[in-house]
Chains A and B, each alone.
Chain A
Amino acid sequence: MLVEIQNAWKVYQLGKTEVQALRGVSLDISEGDSIAIMGPSGSGKSTLMNLIGCMDRPTEGEVLVGGVALSSAKDNQLAKLRSATIGFVFQSFNLIPRISALANVMLPMTFSDRIAKSQHAAKAKELLDRVGLSDRMTHMPSELSGGERQRVSIARALANDPPLLLADEPTGNLDTKTGNEILNIFNELHDEKRTLIVVTHDPQVAEHMKKRIHMRDGEIENGGAA
């Protein structure tokens, strides 16, 4: 099992009020799964993604990623786990603006020993090529369109060949046409049997996934994996 979520709670304390972002979520994700997470705004989708992505620890319950329990993991262990296991694609791309597309894709490689230093550039080029950006490698993020930026960030997510790809509304900032281009890439990745978790409001996107999860008020509706 790649990820095991066991009755995970995430509670934020805002002064005297308590915000229960996740309220006892349980979910198993195995290799090759593709899951769409859907639900209204504020239902806890991003919060859940942050847990799966080892960016956060549950307030209660447990999350195991690659067998490592997050609740007791040190910051450095979480960083290692992210580096080895997770590839993130964000709604707002989150590229580093001061460096080229190529350098952005190479960035995660510097945090991991997975790929030899001498191969970083070649590997990054290969990934950019695969998302159709072979002629945009030296461009700065500001010189790229939204769809192109998202493709760079997909290439970056794939840099260390992580077993798990997480995408939080990857088409949220894109028009339908560009969004579809991005979805095609996800479909390809899905066909390659990569494990994929996508947060989306778009039923069409969800269609492409093997499983669909609906969230409401910090809980998974119908009790779990559908």
Chain B
Amino acid sequence: MKIGEYLKLSWTNIKSHKLRSLLSLLGVTFGIASVIAIMTMMGGLEESLVNIITQDLLRADTINVSLSGSFGFFGGDRVFSERDVDRLRSIPGVKSADVAGPLRGGALYAGTKRLLDANVITTTDPSIVPLGVGRLVEGGGEIVLGANVAETVMKQFGIIEEFDDPDEEERLRLSGQLPPINYEQVLNQELRMKYLNRERKVTETTLTVVGVVKESQFLSGSDSYVDSSYYLDTEEIDGTEYLVFPGVFVRVNNIDQLVEVRNAIETYLTSDESDIKGLVGSQLDLDVQTTKEVVDEIRANFVGIAAFLGGIGAVALLVGMIGVMNIMLVSVKERTREIGIMKATGATNGFVMKSFLTECTMICLFGSILGILLGMGGSLLISQAMIAISSGLESIPFVFLYDWYIIAVVTGLVVGVASGMYPAWSAAKTDPIQALRYE
């Protein structure tokens, strides 16, 4: 008999046990759906995070130097001295080496009001700031505001309306009843900043807003940027006070030299000649990574999390598979007499085996296809849940995971064969005489 006839026969069998087929199908569907939903959600998160890093934060020609476990751009212990940075600049192939770091004691005021959740960061390369509107700082007396800070400032100055209930505001903005915030309106406003100067005295200065950082769920909207001249964190090294930073961004002249330069940076910083080695000694544990390596590491972390979550989905699938097997066994038992009839009219053991296997595989295949669709839909729900429980995340883009769809379909086939094997075998082994006598 041809495969087409097995399919036809199985389809007849499936149709005549609709509820039962549906129930076993759903077991597989939910297993596959949970895996697909999780992978889709994680894939979306990963893509948007990688996008922001590769497009807004780091360029392909950049090597990120920081302490292990921290990302220099976002903070960490301040141990990279300006002398070390100068020496990195003299490594052959290095185009530039820049630093960024939070301003110690930095506090911003809009009029008389102290702004909460407002960090001030300085950098020697203003162009690393992912700019939304306006321009970058070109010297002292200027500031590029984080998006959240800009919003607060606009409310303090009465440029936009203030809401008692932030959730209500968010809802109105998302639904389009309130227009999106126009950050242009905050440009040229004046803020006051207090900070510690080199003598560790509180100093006050006035800053003009020249730009606003891009709005992104992965960029802290509370970070604002000022000129590096305000940065005054120091350590005494060899009897001199040197500025110290949480990380260094090194750019190379030629992208082919990336690995070479990275190795040279690592060699210098871990050698006894470096200030950092003198400062922290044997505790030194560096991350010297190219953008590609940073991205790879993020992706690897995502694989780890996805594997864990996917494992939970796989358990669901296993439960579904046991369900299918159970229902198939009941089916075989219930159709005992039918098996006897088929055998009496000339069916071979092989035919009986194959017809049950085909049926089970078809159910699981349908189940997995339905699971893919349900998973794609379910990922939207999981994304909503993720956004709701995490602070900062605003949206997770939807991504199509074609590899995973293929894996899901193949899994459906494998689950079908695996769970149908024993029931089909027991059907094939049925003694026709006993089967015909079966009530």
State yes or no: do A and B come from one complex: yes
Interface on A for B, CB 8 Å cutoff? 50, 53, 55-56, 75-76, 79-80, 82-84, 88, 90, 94-96, 98-99, 107-108, 110-112, 156, 159-160
Q: Considering the chains assembled together, what is the distance between the CA atoms of A91 and B153 in angstroms? A: 93
Partner of B337, one of A88, A94, A110: A94
Check if B75 is an interface residue, CB within 8 A of chain A. no
> Which of B257-265, B268-276, B342-350, B395-403 is found at the contact surface with chain A?
B342-350
| Chain B proximity of A98: nearest CB distance (Å) | 4
Q: Are A56 and B433 touching (Cβ within 8 A)? A: yes
Query: Given contacts A56-B433, A94-B337, A99-B12, are A76 and B346 in contact (CB under 8 A)?
Result: no
Q: Considering the chains assembled together, what is the distance between the CA atoms of A98 and B344 in angstroms? A: 18
Check if B389 is an interface residue, CB within 8 A of chain A. no
Most A CB contacts (10 A, CB to CB) among B343, B346, B436 go to: B346
Q: Considering the chains assembled together, what is the distance between the CA atoms of A155 and B358 in angstroms? A: 28
Q: Are A88 and B338 touching (Cβ within 8 A)? A: no
- Please indicate the chain B residues that have their CB under 8 angstroms from the CB of A107 in the complex: 341-342, 345
Partner of A112, one of B341, B346, B432: B346
Partner of A55, one of B5, B337, B344, B349: B344
Q: Are A108 and B12 touching (Cβ within 8 A)? A: no
Check if B351 is an interface residue, CB within 8 A of chain A. yes
- Please indicate the chain A residues that have their CB under 8 angstroms from the CB of B16 in the complex: 98
Check if B1 is an interface residue, CB within 8 A of chain A. yes
Q: Considering the chains assembled together, what is the distance between the CA atoms of A55 and B432 in angstroms? A: 7
Q: Considering the chains assembled together, what is the distance between the CA atoms of A55 and B431 in angstroms? A: 9
Instruction: List 29 contacting pairs A-B, 8 Å CB cutoff, sorted by A.
Output: A50-B433, A53-B344, A55-B344, A55-B433, A79-B343, A79-B346, A79-B347, A79-B348, A80-B346, A80-B348, A83-B345, A83-B346, A84-B346, A88-B345, A90-B436, A94-B337, A94-B341, A94-B344, A96-B338, A96-B341, A99-B12, A107-B345, A108-B346, A111-B342, A111-B345, A111-B347, A111-B348, A112-B346, A160-B346
- Please indicate the chain A residues that have their CB under 8 angstroms from the CB of B349 in the complex: 75-76, 79
Query: Given contacts A98-B12, A110-B5, are A156 and B345 in contact (CB under 8 A)?
Result: yes
| Chain A proximity of B85: nearest CB distance (Å) | 80
Most A CB contacts (10 A, CB to CB) among B1, B347, B348 go to: B348
Query: Given contacts A94-B337, A98-B16, are A111 and B344 in contact (CB under 8 A)?
Result: no
CB-defined interface of B73-90 with A at 8 Å, one 1/0 digit per residue? 000000000000000000
Q: Considering the chains assembled together, what is the distance between the CA atoms of A108 and B341 in angstroms? A: 10
- Please indicate the chain B residues that have their CB under 8 angstroms from the CB of A76 in the complex: 348-350
Residue of B with least CB distance to A90? B436
Interface on B for A, CB 8 Å cutoff? 1, 5, 12-13, 16, 337-338, 340-351, 432-433, 436
Partner of A82, one of B337, B338, B344, B351: B344
> Taking chain B's interface residues, is the majority helix, strand, or loop, or is none over half, making it mixed?
helix
Q: Considering the chains assembled together, what is the distance between the CA atoms of A88 and B340 in angstroms? A: 12
Q: Considering the chains assembled together, what is the distance between the CA atoms of A88 and B432 in angstroms? A: 13
Residue of A with least CB distance to B341? A94
Partner of B1, one of A88, A90, A110: A110
Q: Considering the chains assembled together, what is the distance between the CA atoms of A113 and B348 in angstroms? A: 13
- Please indicate the chain B residues that have their CB under 8 angstroms from the CB of A56 in the complex: 433
| Chain A proximity of B431: nearest CB distance (Å) | 9
Residue of A with least CB distance to B342? A107
| Chain B proximity of A102: nearest CB distance (Å) | 13
Partner of A111, one of B13, B340, B351, B432: B351
Q: Considering the chains assembled together, what is the distance between the CA atoms of A43 and B342 in angstroms? A: 27
- Please indicate the chain B residues that have their CB under 8 angstroms from the CB of A98 in the complex: 12-13, 16
Q: Considering the chains assembled together, what is the distance between the CA atoms of A94 and B437 in angstroms? A: 10
| Chain B proximity of A70: nearest CB distance (Å) | 13
| Chain A proximity of B328: nearest CB distance (Å) | 17
| Chain A proximity of B344: nearest CB distance (Å) | 5
- Please indicate the chain B residues that have their CB under 8 angstroms from the CB of A156 in the complex: 345
- Please indicate the chain A residues that have their CB under 8 angstroms from the CB of B343 in the complex: 55, 79, 82
- Please indicate the chain B residues that have their CB under 8 angstroms from the CB of A94 in the complex: 337, 340-341, 344, 436
Q: Considering the chains assembled together, what is the distance between the CA atoms of A75 and B351 in angstroms? A: 12
Partner of B346, one of A90, A99, A111: A111
Residue of B with least CB distance to A113? B1
Q: Considering the chains assembled together, what is the distance between the CA atoms of A179 and B406 in angstroms? A: 59
| Chain B proximity of A127: nearest CB distance (Å) | 14
- Please indicate the chain B residues that have their CB under 8 angstroms from the CB of A88 in the complex: 344-345
| Chain A proximity of B147: nearest CB distance (Å) | 65
Not counting A76-B349, A94-B341, A96-B342, a sample of 10 additional A-B residue pairs whose C-beta atoms are within 8 angstroms of each other reads A56-B433, A80-B346, A82-B344, A84-B346, A94-B337, A96-B341, A99-B12, A107-B342, A111-B347, A159-B345
Residue of B with least CB distance to A112? B346
Q: Considering the chains assembled together, what is the distance between the CA atoms of A164 and B432 in angstroms? A: 19
- Please indicate the chain A residues that have their CB under 8 angstroms from the CB of B12 in the complex: 98-99
